[in-house]
Every structure is written in C-alpha cells, then in structure tokens.
Structure 1
Amino acid sequence: MTDQEPVTDQEPVTAREFGRVERIGDTVRRPAMPWTPAVHGLLLYLEDIGYPHAPRVLGFDEHGREVLTWIEGESGPDGWGKVVDDRGLRFFARLLREYHDAVAGYRPPAATLWSSTTAGPVGDEVVCHGDFGPWNTVWSGARPIGIIDWDHARPAARLHDVAYTLQYTAPFRDDAECLRWLRYPEPPDRCHRIEVFAAAYGLTDTRGLVDEVLRVQEAGIEVVRRLAERGDEPQATWVAEGHLDQLRAQLAWSRENRHLAEAGGRRDPVRGGRTGAGPPAA
C-alpha cells in the first residue's frame, strides 16, 4: 500500500499496552512488531486461498504501522454475549474448525519468528490463531464473520486453539464472574457447553478436553512469565501489575472445579463453583 493522508473519520479502536491501534476509514493501523512478517505471511496465505474471515494485508503507512482491512461488525466486549446460547456457540466452534481446515496447507519454515516462539508446523500442527475468543471475533448479528488480532498466532496442535477458547466459553470461570462479566443470565452448564462446542467443531467425544484446558492455562502462565523476564510488552507490565497471580488463581479454580466441566459432573447445587469473582482476563 502506498502512503495516504489520514482521512477525517479516524477513530481509535482500542489501546494496547504496547501500542495504539486505530481505525482510519476502512483500514486498521497497528504498530509493527518483530513477528509482524510472520503474521502477514499467514494472512497473505489465507487471502491467496480465498479464506473470507480474516483481514487483508495492505502494507505499511508513513508511520511504519501495518495496515489491514477493517471488518465491519461487532467485536471486543460485544462478542461475549454472542456465545452464551448454544446457537452462537455452535457458529463460533464451526468458525474455528473452518479456519483450521483452511490453514492446514500452510507450512512456513522452522525459522519463522512468532510472538512467543520461533518455529514452523510439525506433523499435524497448524498455525493456530493463539488468541481465539469471542472478543477477537467479528459478528454480524448472531453469526461470526471475521477473526481479528492475529498477534499470538503460532504453530501448535489444533487442540490448543480448542482448549484455549474453551477456558473462556465453557467457561472455566466462577459463576459470579459469568453472571457479572460474561453476560450469562444464569450459571452455565459447563459440561453441556463443552459437548456443544466439541460436536460443532467436529470432535467425536470430549475426553481429555478438561486436561488440555488445564495444560493450556499452565502453559499460558509460563509464556507470560518468560516474555516478561525478557522485557516484552505487554507481559512485563502485566507481571508488574500482578497479572500472574490472577492467572494462577484461575488455574487453581479450574483444578478445583473441573468436575463442573466433565461428563457425569453436572453443576453441584451446593458449591455451584463459586470461589470468587473478578473481571475476565481477555
């Protein structure tokens, strides 16, 4: 993309600790990071094969920011309410499966630098989105039509993306948080929601999914710690503000209440999974 003068309908989209993201017209301007070339390679591949649910790469602007196409719709906090009912949850799971199937043929080299690793896919791995959640999905009414914020993409097993998003959409959060922050009208049946998501994604059963969610949570803590020690942002700020303690508390809740998410372990009417409250980490 050639340089262009800012247009009058410039509006901030969000602010990240490591840089400002802006909408200008029908484009999104984001700070370029060391892993931006890897993300652009992924997005260009998706464009080449005609995948319709990802932004297109338009190059860089005069400030050195990457320029991507804007996907019109609802996203960010609006996404949480979209996956509360079974219909929205099914659409969401199918979107993830469609992405995984689309990207299966992409084999970037082992020397590719991503935000948290340097690697290429091995065996059956794909380039996972890495931060697949309702907040990073663009919605048109009840249907998801786009996936945004690809900063955390990296090669991994498909199950990584599945487990990562289940921690937020089952969700592996206490009832008070589900009611206050995640837009649930009543405490969720986590086991049922995992079954709905798994079936819509195309899994034949849910065995092992709870263990995988716990592994993803454990690995996430380690990644944040490691990147913070390296001085990367926003992880360094997160750790300084006590974010690791929050992540560890969420993992402890998941371990203590895993029965709520496992077959044969429906909601306990006495305990109800209530062990505290707090805002979502996403």
Structure 2
Amino acid sequence: MADEEVLQDTPHRRVVRIGDTVRRPMHPWTPAVHALLRYLEGVGFPFSPHVRGIDEQDREVLTYLDGLSGPQSWAKVAGDAGLAAIARLLRDYHDAVAGFRPPDHLTWFTGETGLAGGELVCHGDFGPWNIVWRDERPVGILDWDYARPANRLHDVAYALEYLAPFRDDDECLRWLGYSQPPDRRHRLELFAGVYGLASVEGLVDAVIDVQREGIERVRTLADAGAQPQARWVADGHLEELGRRLAWSLAHRHLFEA
C-alpha cells in the first residue's frame, strides 16, 4: 500500500490521501452519494470528486481535489469577489444536478428516498470549509455525505448562515477572515443576486428555519447513536447551536432593510 497522508483524523472519521485519491469511511448512504457523484461526472460538472470505487479496507475511493480548503477557505469569501464566486458555484451545481433522478431504493443520510415536487439533491453542507480554492478561484466542492433531497433554498439558506454571515462581529474579525465588521445586508443581497434570486424576501426566515432544522437533526441523530452527532451533543454543541439561533433571531435587523 502506498503511503497514506492523513487529511482528517477524528473519532469515527479518518480520511487519508493516497496519490491522487482520497479514502473515506463508508456509510449506509454512500451508494446514494456515489450515484450523485457519478451523475455529476457524466454531465461534465467539473467541481465534484469522481468515484473510483471501494478499496480493500472498505473505504470509498474518490479523486483528490487539489487546492486550499477547510479553515483556509474562510478568508477567500470575506470579500465581494469570493462571495460572488461561491454564489455562482452553488447555482452551477444546482443547474447541473437538476436532471438527476435518484433511484427510489437509494437512501440519503436523512433517511429520505426519491424526490418530492420542486426538489433536487442539495449538497447539504455548502459552507466555506468544503470549497476548494486555487488562488482566488473556487475549483471544487468537498464532503458530499450530507447530500439530501430538498428545494434549492435549503442550500442557499445554509450557505448564507456562514457567508452573510449570521455571526457576531467579534467572531467575524477574530476567526472568519474579515478586516472590518461585514455589511451583512449587502452580502446577503450580493449572494442572492449572483445566484439568481429575484429578491431577498424570506431569506432571513429561511436561514433561521435551517438553523432550527439543524438543531433538531443533530438531536435526532445523536439520540439514535449516530456519529459525529452523538459526540457533538456530549461536547455541548447543541448549546452552541442554540446560541447561534438566538443571535440570528435577535439581530435579524442587520440583514433586513
């Protein structure tokens, strides 16, 4: 076996690079994710990894997307140019996946199957940490484990929590790469306009709804013993999610005219 470069090593999740491939743990929903990634490869979407099979250790094998990601990605989206680029990337993904009709026997991490009217398969975790950059250009989208059927607005609202962002000034300046407090209304309008939304009406409510849903999803999965959600709850992450929701509710005026 070639040398393994550890990319992530947390309880229940060890991700390694071997040559030009990434090896990741399998999950019950991995077949659905692989069907999605194969579809994207087939339609020529250039920003998703390609499935290369299952290895002898029962790990999924994906192509490695070279570039900066994770914590290094936050500063890339602090300016208008990076924000616009990531909005276009999300729209490009949604347009590419719009024709995908997953077989009914495939189950996503939520337990859902199939698509309801108006739904497509959302990425489900479209945050800055999962975007790969080269210079000032996004070139890839990582970590498709939380892909799920939903309407487009779910991905948009999820992304805006982190990109507007729905965080206080101290966190923006200390951790998220901003040189000054962000103009959150401007950023929300810019993202929505580049993505192609006709207006920003309802977006703040949509973000808050996604935050509430996320809290309930973590609680439900943790109660079922799923990881990493059970570890998150043990570490107090539900309380942190509750504080983020409370901040959004108290500061929605920063996002609205």
Task: Classify the TM-score, shorter chain.
Answer: over 0.9
* Structure 1 position 15, deviation (Å): 2.2
Pairing of 1:234-253 with structure 2 (within 5 A): 234-253=228-247
Aligned to 1:48: 42
> Which of these residues, 57, 60, 69, is aligned with residue 63 of structure 2?
69
Aligned to 1:25: 19
Q: Counterparts of 2:168 and 2:230 in 1: how far apart (Å)?
A: 27
Q: Counterparts of 2:88 and 2:115 in 1: how far apart (Å)?
A: 22
> Within the alignment, does 1:197 sit opposite 2:180 as a pair?
no
> Within the alignment, does 1:228 sit opposite 2:222 as a pair?
yes
* Residues 104-144 of structure 1: CA deviation (Å, up to 9, x unaligned): 00011344211122222211211000000111011111110
- Give aligned pairs, total: 257
Q: Counterparts of 2:223 and 2:103 in 1: how far apart (Å)?
A: 27
Identity %: 61
Q: Alignment partner of 2:61: what SS?
A: strand
Letter in 2 for 1:208: G
Aligned to 1:107: 101
> Within the alignment, does 1:135 sit opposite 2:133 as a pair?
no
> Within the alignment, does 1:157 sit opposite 2:157 as a pair?
no
Aligned to 2:110: 116
State the Cα RMSD in Å.
Answer: 0.9
Kept in 2, the 8 Å contact 1:39–1:153? The answer is yes
Q: Counterparts of 1:143 and 1:162 in 2: how far apart (Å)?
A: 20
Kept in 2, the 8 Å contact 1:58–1:67? The answer is yes
> Within the alignment, does 1:34 sit opposite 2:10 as a pair?
no
> Which of these residues, 134, 151, 160, is aligned with residue 166 of structure 1?
160
Q: Alignment partner of 1:155: what SS?
A: strand
**Unaligned segments of structure 2, at least 5 residues:** none
Aligned to 2:53: 59
* Residues 153-182 of structure 1: CA deviation (Å, up to 9, x unaligned): 000000000000100010000100011110
Q: Counterparts of 2:248 and 2:231 in 1: how far apart (Å)?
A: 25
Aligned to 1:7: 2
Letter in 1 for 2:43: I
Q: Alignment partner of 2:162: what SS?
A: helix
Q: Alignment partner of 2:62: what SS?
A: strand
Letter in 1 for 2:233: V
Letter in 2 for 1:43: L
TM-score by length of 1: 0.89
Q: Alignment partner of 1:21: what SS?
A: strand
Q: Counterparts of 1:215 and 1:111 in 2: how far apart (Å)?
A: 29
* Residues 10-49 of structure 1: CA deviation (Å, up to 9, x unaligned): 2111124322000111100001111110100000111111
Kept in 1, the 8 Å contact 2:112–2:149? The answer is no
Q: Counterparts of 1:186 and 1:139 in 2: how far apart (Å)?
A: 23
Task: Could you list the structure 1 runs, at least 4 aligned residues long, displaced by more than 6 angstroms after superposition.
Answer: none
Letter in 2 for 1:231: G
Kept in 2, the 8 Å contact 1:111–1:118? The answer is no
Aligned to 2:202: 208
> Which of these residues, 256, 262, 265, is aligned with residue 256 of structure 2?
262
Q: Alignment partner of 1:67: what SS?
A: strand
* Structure 1 position 69, deviation (Å): 0.2
Letter in 1 for 2:20: D
Kept in 1, the 8 Å contact 2:26–2:59? The answer is yes
Aligned to 1:187: 181
Letter in 1 for 2:72: D
**Unaligned segments of structure 1, at least 5 residues:** 1-5, 264-282
Kept in 2, the 8 Å contact 1:110–1:118? The answer is no
